[in-house]
Structure 1
Amino acid sequence: MTAQRNVPVSLYPQLDEAALTRFVQALESGDTAGLSTERAAQATDARALAEVRRVQVPGAQGDELAGFLWKHGGSQERPVVVMPSPWTDLGWLAYAVQGTLFALNGYHVLAYTARGFGRSGGEVDVAGPLDVADAGHALDFLLERLGRPATRVGFVGDSYGSGISQLAAAHDTRVDAVAALSTWGDLGQAFYENDTRHIASVTVLRDAAANARLSARTEQAFEDVLHGRNIEETLQWAQERSPLTFVDRLNERSVPVFFAHAWHETLFPNNQTLQMFTSLTGPKRLDFSIGDHSCPEMSGIIGLPNRIWQDAHRWMDHHLKGESNGIDKEGQLLSQIMWSTALEASATWQASLGEPQRFYLGGGSGDGALLDKPENGWTRTIGVGTDTPATVADSIIKSGYAELAGDPKVYPTADISRSDAGVWVTAPLGRTTRLRGIPELHLNYASSSTGSLFIAYLFDVAPDNSAHIVTQAPFTRLDSTPDDRSGARVLLQATGYDVAAGHRLMLVVDTVDPFYAKAADKGNSLTVTSPEADPSYLDIPIVA
């Protein structure tokens, strides 16, 4: 009996595997039947190179990695691009079109499937030392096949391949430039944001690797996050898998790094990637987009026009080929602003930020107000353990595609239980208000239990009380003493958002979200207050 193939959760639900497979078959055979005119021409032109074919790449520990090679003939020295695969069984196939486009633009290209996935040997190391060694071996293999020097070397990767690409550049001085799409900087922060376990994202990563061969250490790390054990060990494990750990090595050589990220990224939240980006001192650029993990660049993976991939190509063309295409003069930041879809360029991340405007949390009956002056002496009790309609998203990644299509999730704010959440709102805004940066919440509260968790959400509320999410962040205190008051400082995820005139901003604080682990049992409570000596407030960065 033939074993049944598992059907893993896909991080690429809109990726057309059949279309990519047909394209690769055309690259290999020359039969372009069934392809679009454009794709057929690309396959035909690529076949005119000296070598376009599947290869087996010798990796670390003798493991072989499945790959695909685009190699030019002739004696001309050219730059090379290496493309480690995303977190998917499809492996290098995800780069079939983009690898071809790089090749047709004059690059030697090698795309390969990361260890443990698809037809590659070995076990999944989650961008660990073996993956870094594999990246070096892949570059060795490509250079040996050329039989002559390459002018310069670039690594390009999406998702999992983006982290490997950064780490490869940090460890291998031959790498001259990086393009990292939907990437991470600090894996520990991505898994444990504000001491809160990201159980939904870790579950999705594990389920997406259902057919992969996870190493025992990888299995342990995932299980430890999901069950809240061995936290310090897991953070140490994550540290050597975090590009931020090695940022000084990149800075020593001023390696040019291009990032692309989504505002509502759920796998690798914005702030930890921004920390990596702002720590870089060499040439750098960050493209922010509407959506979730890998959504903004997906159309480019399947071969459609896509500004993220276009900018990645321009980045490589400038830094590897010396082309004067202007990308170095457009500023370090390009942001697609929610929900206008307008693009804003800024010289730096700091130059894009608004000035923090302080809103103090008020008391009173009903919803509290967000005020320009402190209001003290009130308390508000929030029941613990019951979910509310306030949530990060309906689904990791899939909700991001709805946002890209202009159909973001609508939140019914009237259905948010005021017994199970604290709600504070501004007056209707008199003009379009431009939020740019990282909102910060200072919340004075006490928990009735040892250990507490809350999630802070910022919503844009229309006059009909329907809302869209602007940003959010969780906060966990594991060592709190029951009824001991303390102040929590919470950095919400960075945002670029325009709130229309007549809308209100709403802060919601509740204690349950399927994206995060629970910290206290149902029946407990949080008591929020705002004493004169330590008022509760929300700082929102607003551009004048």
Structure 2
Amino acid sequence: MTPSRTTQRVAIGTASAALLAATVLTGTPATAAAATPQSAPATATSGGAPSLRFVDIEGDGGITLKANVFTPAGSDGTRRHPVIVLPTSWSMPQVEYLAQARKLAEAGYVVVGYNSRGFWQSGGEIETAGPKDIADASKVIDWALAHTPADPHRVGMAGVSYGAGISLLASASDKRIKAVAALSGWGDLISSIYSGRTQHKQAAAMLGGTGALTGRPSAELRTILRDFLASDLSKEKDMIEWGKKRSPSTYLDKINANGAAIMLGNAWGDSLFPPNEYADFYEKLKGPKRLEFRPGDHATPEALGLFGLPNDTWTNTKRWFDHYLQGADNGIDRESPVLLKSRSTGAYEGYKSWRDVPSAHRKIELADSRRIHTNLDSGANGGLIFLSSMMDQFFRLPPMASIPLLPRPLAAVWQSERYETGQRVRGTTRLHTTLTSTAESGTAIAYLYDVGPLGLGKLVTHAPYTFHGKTPNQPFGVDLDLFSTAYDVPAGHRLAVVIDTVDPLYIEHNPSGARLTFSSPADDPSYVSVPVRD
């Protein structure tokens, strides 16, 4: 008899938990003997290592959440320790944070990592950071306070991706949470995967596919994904309302009232949650806060740290908790709260706020009209989910295009003059133009390229834009924020603005045979405003 997919998930998750547990606790590769949870050490070693145990925690509605608990070495129950709760990322097993959890436990924290509901061996269905997920987080805190030497006055939450979103949402509803580190998360879910009113096709397909493979999507989630990928505009209002309930930005007043110290971290090229809306969310926080952006794609800036390797993101996460949960005078509260790492140089830069990142703006005039055909890819695109931004992160090879060879019937192209000095692009590039379409709906994707002497363009940033319900052949204004970034344009290069209508990352809405015209009226000239740091 062939095992069911659920049985296979449980078997894989159980073996993975034991293997990684043995590796983390002993510091050596796990052997075949560590094939069941019972073989993983459950108490501190003779060298004084923290103890680890695997437990079941009752979640909201009585479901079982599979969890693991690290307790500091030598804890006898008379001393209370700060506690950090770690919900897993989307599709990740409960062992995701073991390496970092052990490091935190070595520093005196009780650490509880748990598998979010609906995934792997945890019960329930995938609620996508819905009310049941937030109730689960509070249930885990309840359990930690009742079953570990955790201090109820020093509670923190952290997570990557899905775990980041749950942690932020929980900080709005549970006043016990005093500090949060939300890595590669979101502030506004719909603004992330539906920016510019355009479906992020590859992102949604990845989430749906991995969710079905490793968990049990709820009927509501299956419906939302189906309507989203089918471009069913009649369900757009329902989708936006669904996303609003799952967006920390919806609960900003509660988050600010509760006053948790919140650290946000993200990647410039995040394919799921672009940096813009995280930066906007950060600016609206009123309590202690920190924002860090690094090169990479979704969750890649902190990924190596999950294996216990040196990692700046996790180092600062620990410093954040050390200060706000342990009272350590480590200086993190006195540092510039906005920390950016350049995609081009790898150097860090500190700023006192997100608004202060650019010190000037360079305008590229979009003079003269450009008319393009739709439905065919010009060759300018944002690349592939994960792969392209990881190539940029590790090899500084972003998506490229030969600007002189882009077919002008398919791509509108404007270029700046050559810059005599280098341009440090920092922040959010903005496009303003006048658009006329032969159809009532359509999609355009705007790109900004760094163009070298031979015409080869390296992608600096981009963003999609979709419109519906417009009067054909009637011009209308367009304002579009491209995804924020930190990129250095060398002296002697120029910037190119390219607009076309097809990109493999997105669903496009251009009817067959439609044409788009970009014009620059005398009383409302078109331009791209590029933020720079002098």
TM above 0.5: yes
Q: Distance in 2 between matches of 1:97 and 1:293?
A: 20
Determine helix, strand or coil for the equivalent of 1:531. coil
2:211 corresponds to: 209
Quote the Cα distance in structure 2 between the aligned partners of 1:46 and 1:65. Answer: 30
Kept in 1, the 8 Å contact 2:144–2:150? The answer is no
User: Partners in 2 of 1:54 and 1:258 — Cα distance?
Assistant: 28
When residues 242 and 33 of structure 1 are mapped into structure 2, their CA distance, relative to the original with a 3 A threshold, is: closer
Of 97, 103, 112, which aligns to 1:95?
97
For the pair 1:442 / 2:439, whether they are aligned, the reply is no
| SS of equivalent residue, structure 1 residue 225 | helix
1:419 aligns with 2:424: no
Tell me how far apart the structure 2 counterparts of residues 453 and 514 of structure 1 sit (CA, whole Å). 13
SS in structure 2 of the partner of residue 305 of structure 1: coil
* Residues 285-330 of structure 1, C-alpha deviations (whole Å, 9 max, x = no match): 1111011100111110111100001000100001000101111111
Q: Find out whether 1:496 has 2:504 as its counterpart.
A: no
Match of 1:487 in 2: 477
Do the aligned partners of residues 417 and 20 (structure 1) sit closer, same or farther apart at CA in structure 2, a change above 3 Å counting? Answer: farther
1:81 corresponds to 2:84:
yes
Q: Give me the whole-angstrom Cα distance separating, in 1, the residues matched to 2:18 and 2:454.
A: 47
Structure 1 match to 2:19: 22
**Equivalent in 232, 245, 248 of residue 243 of structure 1:** 248
Q: How far apart, in 2, do the equivalents of 1:44 and 1:399 lie?
A: 43
- Please give the per-residue CA displacement for 1:224-268, whole angstroms capped at 9, x wherever unaligned: 211122111111111110000111111113211001111111101
3-state DSSP class of the match of 2:212? coil
Could you tell me which runs of 5 or more consecutive residues in structure 1 were left unpaired when the two chains were aligned: 9-16, 364-378
Change (3 A) 1:388 1:5: farther
Q: For 1:162, which of 124, 141, 164 is the aligned residue? A: 164
> Is this contact kept in 2: 1:424–1:507, CA < 8 A?
yes
Distance in 2 between residues matched to 1:344 and 1:409, nearest whole Å: 21
2:341 corresponds to which residue?
A: 336
The answer to whether the 8 Å contact 1:289/1:337 transfers is yes
- SS of residue in 2 equivalent to 1:285: strand
**Cα 1:31–1:520 shift into 2, 3 Å:** closer
CA gap 1:345/1:459 in 2 versus in 1, 3 angstroms: same
Range with greater deviation from structure 2 (226-235 or 398-407): 398-407
Q: Please give the residue correspondences for 1:26-45 in structure 2 after superposition, counting only pairs within 5 Å.
A: 26=23, 32=28
TM-score between both structures, scaled by the size of structure 2: 0.92
Moved over 4 A (4+): 17-21, 30-35, 43-51
Whether 1:220 aligns to 2:210 is no
Q: CA deviation at 1:362?
A: 2.3
**Same amino acid, percent of matched pairs:** 35
Counterpart Cα distance in 2 of 1:248 and 1:517: 34
Q: 1:326 to 1:195 in 2, by over 3 A?
A: same
CA distance in 2, matches of 1:476, 1:34: 51
Q: Could you tell me whether the CA contact under 8 Å between 1:332 and 1:346 is conserved in 2?
A: yes
SS at match of 2:397: coil
**Residues 1:54 and 2:44 aligned together:** no
> Residue in 1 aligned with 2:134?
132
SS in 2 for 1:463: coil
The 1-side partners of 2:111 and 2:30 are apart by 25
Match in the other structure for 2:462: 472
* Number of corresponding residues: 514
Task: State the Cα distance separating 1:529 from its structure 2 match.
Answer: 1.2
Q: Say if 1:152 and 1:320, in contact at 8 Å, map to a contact too.
A: yes
The correspondence of residues 290-329 of structure 1 with structure 2, limited to 5 A, is 290-329=295-334
The reply on whether 1:71 has 2:62 as its aligned counterpart is no
CA gap of 1:455–1:347, structure 2 versus 1, over 3 A, is: same
CA positional deviation for 1:124: 0.3
- After superposition, the Cα gap between the structure-2 partners of 1:325 and 1:486, relative to the gap in structure 1 and judged at 3 Å, is same
Change in 2 beyond 3 A, CA 1:526/1:85: same
**TM-aligned CA deviation for residue 466 of structure 1:** 1.7
SS class of match (2:425): strand
Give the residue type in structure 2 aligned to 1:444: T
User: Per the alignment, do residues 252 and 46 of structure 1 end up closer, same or farther by CA in structure 2, a change over 3 Å counting?
Assistant: farther
